[in-house]
Structure 1
């Protein structure tokens, strides 16, 4: 094997790392983008996001000659039905996310996405009947305690964080049950949602007398059109990066986005952390540290189990 052949996997991993990091950094700064559309109600923004995602993701796949994959998906009712369910889950996630940004609750967004991996593990336990290690049980118990403390101390259930964590974990679970690519799957979901989004915009415009096209405000309209791009572009980067990286690294990178969101909330938008909220974030970080250490250990043990032992040399 030549040096060039040996270097190829390392180069692929470096490219994957750059693409993956870019995707998570863009997702981290996504609240800043949706500050541009705060003049529009969150439900209307979501309807625009769905419709413009059809345009953006459709253009991306058309340029790559992959529209046929979407047509093939739509011709299979069972797969289309599962994607309809995942589309419902992601639309709830988008709505809560954009509402939270408009209400200056970015810290709640960050908390929700920090908790998301642990909720995914809980779904695996309940739905897939998976067995958890002792460390995973401890991590989930700490996270549950953190949510409870925040709810009692703040006098209300942290519904934004919980809704984001559970809707995205549900989306992830549903997408794992469907063997379709990330971009074709997203376009199919957006296509399935688009009739409802268009109908909602018409109803909202008629019932409130609002011009939901926003043609009278070109900058706002441009920001709404851009919601399709900020949906499609990071996903394309992530899909390309994930193919080149081990799942362990991808799992670790998912903490980048909520970390950026937390910093944005505190240092850019001036949201108050408070002692209780800081304590609950600290508990979530402890649970994630336990969860991550356990995941890395299990991954290392699995690699060792797959590696054949060298045969003993004759003396």
Structure 2
């Protein structure tokens, strides 16, 4: 499949998901008083309640059996759930520890990894202009990595874990909401155990019964975080089944660009001229790729 045959719904769903992910550092920053492990546990539990509840309402109890009956679905969704939980945990810790710029670097690197996976594993094809855009983006990411100032282990780990998650969700033949529901069921019991452990060891503060109550505003943000977790993941899983994975890779630059702007302009993190050069190169690459896609779409014959 080439970029000439685009599913418009998949394209806009992907864009919306990445925009929401791009501004999420501001949301998690509001929860910086809550320990990172507690945030991730609440994120899993409330997301699971929302997604599984909706699936039960729409499909009844048969949805789980039907989903797991798909070839390889059980173990692949267990693996993807583990990967996304790890990615969430590292990301939230990094945001609240003042590393928003480095998390954005990770999600700048991730699209290049997706393009590589799309070409090597899924045998997707790129034309010369698209390869040029990939090369420019790679140069921008390399520049950012070299001029970051220290080995960006957070960025590289975030990129690898989310790249592997996206590839698994591309390969498993499961509708996006059902896939997230199964992932949530795998994760919800460990998350509940973590919450109970936190309450019993002085790290929990949910509701007035908590050891050191965080207040109703933070409690509400933790609950709402479940919906904000589910919606972009459902959109992402839907998009990777509708449009080429290589295109998903380049559209993902929307999220780290917004994250970078949040970290620098709103959260006061450092951003010098060296990093600005890498940022400009990446956006040039995205413009080249998008321009090529528009030209190819205009040249394609219209149906009678």
The alignment's TM-score, normalised by the length of structure 1, stands at 0.75
Q: After the TM superposition, which residues 116-265 of structure 1 pair with which residues of structure 2 at under 5 Å, given as runs?
A: 116-128=110-122, 132-206=126-200, 208-211=201-204, 213=206, 215=210, 216-217=213-214, 218-235=216-233, 251=248, 254-265=252-263
Q: After the TM superposition, which residues 6-155 of structure 1 pair with which residues of structure 2 at under 5 Å, given as runs?
A: 23-65=17-59, 68-75=62-69, 78-128=72-122, 132-155=126-149
Deviation at 1:109, TM superposition (A): 3.0
CA distance in 2 between counterparts of 1:116 and 1:294 reads 22
Output one character per residue of 1:78-120: Cα deviation in whole Å (capped at 9) or x when no partner: 2111111111221122122212211232233333334433210
Task: Classify the secondary structure of the residue corresponding to 1:157.
Answer: coil
Which of these two proteins has the greater Rg computed from alpha carbons?
1
Query: Given that residues 116 and 165 in structure 1 are in contact (C-alpha distance below 8 angstroms), is that contact kept between their aligned partners in structure 2?
Result: yes
Query: Given that residues 38 and 204 in structure 2 are in contact (C-alpha distance below 8 angstroms), is that contact kept between their aligned partners in structure 1?
Result: no
CA distance in 2 between counterparts of 1:71 and 1:282 reads 48
Task: Classify the secondary structure of the residue corresponding to 1:39.
Answer: coil
Task: Classify the secondary structure of the residue corresponding to 1:119.
Answer: helix
What runs of 5+ residues in structure 1 fail to find an aligned partner? 1-12, 311-315
Deviation at 1:19, TM superposition (A): 6.6
Deviation at 1:167, TM superposition (A): 2.1
Deviation at 1:235, TM superposition (A): 4.6
Output one character per residue of 1:268-292: Cα deviation in whole Å (capped at 9) or x when no partner: 2122210111112122223333344
Task: Classify the secondary structure of the residue corresponding to 1:154.
Answer: coil
Output one character per residue of 1:130-174: Cα deviation in whole Å (capped at 9) or x when no partner: 555444444444444433333333332223333333322221111
Distance 1:238 1:165, change over 3 A: closer
Output one character per residue of 1:186-220: Cα deviation in whole Å (capped at 9) or x when no partner: 111111122222333444555x4423645323332
Deviation at 1:177, TM superposition (A): 0.7
Match for residue 283 of structure 1? 281
Query: Given that residues 54 and 191 in structure 1 are in contact (C-alpha distance below 8 angstroms), is that contact kept between their aligned partners in structure 2?
Result: yes
Deviation at 1:221, TM superposition (A): 2.4
Query: Given that residues 122 and 140 in structure 1 are in contact (C-alpha distance below 8 angstroms), is that contact kept between their aligned partners in structure 2?
Result: no
CA distance in 2 between counterparts of 1:205 and 1:56 reads 23
